[in-house]
Amino acid sequence: MLLTADVGNTNIKFGIYDGDELKFKLRVSTDTAKTSDEFAVELYTFFQIYNISADSIDSSIISSVVPKITSPLSNAIETVSGVKSLVIGPGVKSGLNIKIDNPEKLGADIVAGCVGAYEKYGGPFIMIFMGTATVIVYVDENKTYLGGAIAPGVGISLDALTSKGALLPSIDFKAPEKVISTNTSDCMRSGVMFGTACMLDGMIDRFYEQVGKKCKVIATGGFSQLMAENCTHNIIADENVILDGLKYIYKKNNR
């Protein structure tokens, strides 16, 4: 089985594939202070909970945007399973033709997500990554990555609002019943939720205008489903697309 790991600034997402089927998933918080031994304990516990034999893991691949974690995590995977991980980076074949100023600067999670989206849905498409940052990118019908835009993530926006506004309360994140709300908490939810949805709808329209045509829109990340439900455009929410992309990239490099 293949162990995939997507290391983000906020969370690390693990997936275990048996062939093409995603059998198990795990999400843990990103903590740069953790040692390889601590990661190994978390992985071992994960295997124990789901009754997974470490010996059944015969391959592993990592995408990481947190360099400080990459090596400890890779060491932990090897400790638990005996497998060396393929780490997305220069020299790893993705099949994605990256046409930006500095291709080597493109985040491994963006590469994996775009590969997964192309393999699952075909191109062209707009891809929205809703993590610590909200990243919106475009891939054409020839699997060419042409660039995109970066905005503050939903969580960052909400944290900034509550930390800088002395009288504004901390709130849970959900859509209020109406845009024009009548209490502070719902007013904040309306601004962040519907404001982000309007931003995404507006950016999608501007992408359409620049490329001269409409296309599929795919979103992934913690808030992707909620945002897809509140945008006017038809958006496919796919929480597994990065892990799926890692699976495809591993196959491409180990044929």
Q: Which residues are catalytic?
A: 109
Half-sphere exposure of 71 (CA within 13 A, CB side): 3
**Helix segments in 133-194, DSSP class H:** 154-164, 184-189
CA–CA gap between residue 128 and residue 205 (Å, rounded): 13
With contact defined as beta carbons under 8 Å apart, do 195 and 188 qualify? no
DSSP 8-state secondary structure symbol assigned to residue 191: I
User: Exposed (0-12), middle (13-18) or buried (19+): which is 11, by Cβ within 10 Å?
Assistant: middle
Residues β-bridged to residue 127: 137, 218
Tokens of 7: 């290391």
CA–CA gap between residue 58 and residue 80 (Å, rounded): 11
Q: Is 212 left (phi over 0), alpha (psi -120 to 50) or beta?
A: left
DSSP 8-state secondary structure symbol assigned to residue 246: H
With contact defined as beta carbons under 8 Å apart, do 82 and 60 qualify? no
With contact defined as beta carbons under 8 Å apart, do 44 and 54 qualify? yes
